[in-house]
């Protein structure tokens, strides 16, 4: 066995010498890499985009509409196994301008404590010029309900002219690109028909919006852009821009890098 093992290196050496003598040579020419220059590589990493300035302005006004708004906080604990109704009206608001949260039985996920303290932050007062939307805060956020909860919100008197036909409910998120804050429409809902019960004759006349939502956060109530004919400075213009905005729209659009800049290998 030991003599056979010593023959292996010798046989290998003979094979190498044979190949060298037959003119077979190793090609040491390096691979030619044809691809982007240093500047092009930097461009690939710099994802840029364009901004719709008009939509940006309209969504920004809605996102930042908490400036100067005084919110009043209301709390109520509800056992979601049986459901319940949470109704509140801020100090100084007229009768019938109630904000109502209705929780149906079995609303929460099974792994969540069914007894929940619900919180509503209602805008008591705010700027009365060019108001195109009104912010409402609902808590606890971070819960995705098994089935929607139902909210009735009012267009407050301090916000000026009430929506002409109906209200929209907006859920926005902000995001940063190129160091600038931009805005995305995550959800937009049109007001549902008024509930058949729990409303007095006077309440029906109040500017109310009825919506079903599956999670809590900050929701903004806005004019129906199609029906809004407001002459308040700046208000009608913003609403006209928002008339075609839909869920998923963002004022910032990413521009993909050119496919011609992708590195290629040329063998």
- Sorted by where each begins, the domain ranges of the chain are 51-254
Other Cβ atoms within 10 Å of 192 Cβ, number: 14
Residue 146 burial (10 A CB sphere; 0-12, 13-18, 19+):
middle
pLDDT in tens, 112-134: 889 999 999 999 988 766 677 89
- Whole-model pTM? 0.69
**Residue pair 234/16 in contact by the 8 Å Cβ criterion:** no
User: For residue 31, what is the DSSP state?
Assistant: P
- Distance CA(267)–CA(265), nearest Å, equals 6
pLDDT, one tens digit per residue, over 195-214 is 655 445 544 567 889 999 99
3-state secondary structure of 184: strand
What is the structure's pLDDT at 225?
Answer: 55
Segments of the chain with pLDDT less than 70: 1-47, 128-130, 164-165, 195-205, 224-239, 256-267
8 CB-side CA count, 13 A: 4
Q: Which of 154, 159, 156, 71 is CA-nearest to residue 119?
A: 71
Question: Please, what sign has the CA dihedral across residues 19, 25, 30, 33?
Answer: negative
Q: Which residues contact 89 (CB under 8 A, 6 or more apart)?
A: 95, 97, 98, 99
At residue 187, the pLDDT reads 94
């Amino acid at each position: 066995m030991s003599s056979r093992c010593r023959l292996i290196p010798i046989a290998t050496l003979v094979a190498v010498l044979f190949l060298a003598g037959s003119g077979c040579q190793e090609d040491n020419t390096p691979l030619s890499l044809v691809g982007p220059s240093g500047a092009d590589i930097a461009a690939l990493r710099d994802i840029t985009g364009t901004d719709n300035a008009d939509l940006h302005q309209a969504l920004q006004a809605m996102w930042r509409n908490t400036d100067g708004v005084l919110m009043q906080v209301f709390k109520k604990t509800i056992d979601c196994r049986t459901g319940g109704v949470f109704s509140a009206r801020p100090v100084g608001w007229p009768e019938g301008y109630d904000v109502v949260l209705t929780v149906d039985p079995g609303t929460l996920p099974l792994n969540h404590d069914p007894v929940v303290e619900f919180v509503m932050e209602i805008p008591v007062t705010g700027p009365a010029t060019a108001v195109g939307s009104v912010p409402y805060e609902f808590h606890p956020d971070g819960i995705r309900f098994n089935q929607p909860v139902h909210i009735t919100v009012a267009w407050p008197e301090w916000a000026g002219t009430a929506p002409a036909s109906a209200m929209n409910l907006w859920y926005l998120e902000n995001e940063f690109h190129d160091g600038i804050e931009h805005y995305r429409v995550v959800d937009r809902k049109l007001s549902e028909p008024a509930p058949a019960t729990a409303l007095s004759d006077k309440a029906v006349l109040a500017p109310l919006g009825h919506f079903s939502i599956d999670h809590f956060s900050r929701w903004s109530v806005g004019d129906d852009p199609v029906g809004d004919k407001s002459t308040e400075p700046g208000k009608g213009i913003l609403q006209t821009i928002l008339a075609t905005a839909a869920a998923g729209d963002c004022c910032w659009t990413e521009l993909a890098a050119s496919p011609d800049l992708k590195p290629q290998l040329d063998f």
